[in-house]
Structure 1
Amino acid sequence: MEKLITALTELEKLKYVERGTNVKGRKESTAEHSWSCMMIADILIDFVEEPLDRLKVMEYLLYHDIVEVYAGDAKFNNPDEMKLKYQKEASALAKIKTFIPNQNRFDKITSEYEERKTREAEFAKAVDCLDACIRNINDETKSANDGFTAELIRQKYLPHVSQFDITKELFEHLMLQLRKLNKL
């Protein structure tokens, strides 16, 4: 029971991890980002041209940023943060593995997602990319001066969103919207 309580109370701290985007005058949490990704995936999965396992997608998105409990969020327009990202995340993953129940299942979910071993993992990553675009449309504090250029976003997100027609098309529409709002 103690190990279960430790796992639940430690992972709940994802609610406290601040990301670079804002929600009504405060920083978005990684837990909010994970929920948003799951909502987007649940809506978009019905538009994907091939059958995908919805539960598998949801599992990937539930755990895709769990390492941020200890590693924090890294902004991809900050080279210094990105240099340390993989080392910090590997250390965080090792710590989580010391207390998470059903470690084999957790390992399978996180490695399949990180290595994009399944179409569901590729879809989950595409959704993760779309979430940032959607969040930035709603973030009144974001502007073209934030260092997230269209070229940088395309370089980072296009390989992932291009895996599915619906995510590619939605990405292009979101990019147009961001440009119209002077956020790129």
Structure 2
Amino acid sequence: MQQIIDFILELDKLKGVTRKTRPLGLDRQENSAEHSWQIAMLAASLAPYAPRPVDINRVIGMLLVHDIGEIDTGDTIVYATEGWEERKAAELVAVTRIFSLLPDAQATQFMVLWQEFEDGNSDEARFAHAADRAMPVLLNLANNGQSWRENGISHDRVIARIAPPIKAGCPALWDYLEAELARAQALGYFDPI
């Protein structure tokens, strides 16, 4: 029991990892714990739109563990283009440390989910990636492009980073977002670069 409690208390640190997007109606940045919860709910809600049937419990599990490494590494904006290999190596070290707080069987179970998400090869991982990539977009659309404008993110950069994983994981969601992103571009939500 103590190992589980130690693990859960370690996860509390995820609440202190700030991201670049603001929650709706709040004058602060969201944190990674909020993000993980929200994308798990997004995936559960979108399950009927998966291109192939998915084990939604597995998807939710991936989404709940995918950013745990940020406790040690911090968050990097999804539109960053450099240093991903180093970042992923650091996250692996972090999740290995954090999951090792658990009894071996649970540590292995969570590591398998984390690695499946990272590899992105299963239907569940592709669907999870679609939800992960979509949520910052949905918040930016609702916040008049707040994070995009503040961080100098262009429409083309958003499309290049999010279109492939969302198309692969949930084409119906991409159809919706593609139209919304075109509308947002017309409204000036992006850095003009």
Asked if these proteins are the same fold (TM beyond 0.5), I'd say yes
Q: Deviation string for 1:133-183 (max 9, x for gaps)?
A: 011123354454532111111221122011132122122033124324422
RMSD after superposition: 2.1
Q: 1:170 aligns with which of 164, 172, 176?
A: 176
- Which TM-score applies when normalising by structure 1? 0.89
Q: 1:157 aligns with which of 159, 162, 167?
A: 162
Partner Cα distance (1:20, 1:169) in 2: 25
Counterpart for residue 5 of structure 2 = 5
Query: What is the percent sequence identity of the aligned residues?
Result: 27
Give the gaps of 5 or more residues in structure 2. none
1:121 to 2:115 alignment: no
**Cα distance change of structure 1 residues 70 and 183 upon mapping to structure 2, 3 Å threshold:** same
Matched AA of 2:10 = E
Give the structure 1 partner of residue 135 of structure 2: 131
Partner of 2:20, secondary structure, is strand
Q: Which has the higher strand share?
A: 1
The answer (yes or no) to whether the contact 1:17–1:29 under 8 Å persists in 2 is yes
User: In structure 2, what is the Cα distance between the partners aligned to 1:159 and 1:39?
Assistant: 22
The code of the aligned residue for 2:152 comes to G
Residue identity in the other structure for 1:17: V
> Aligned AA for 1:9?
L
Q: Is the 8 A contact 2:52 2:123 kept in 1?
A: no
Contact 1:77 1:147 in 2 (8 A): no
Match of 1:30 in 2: 32
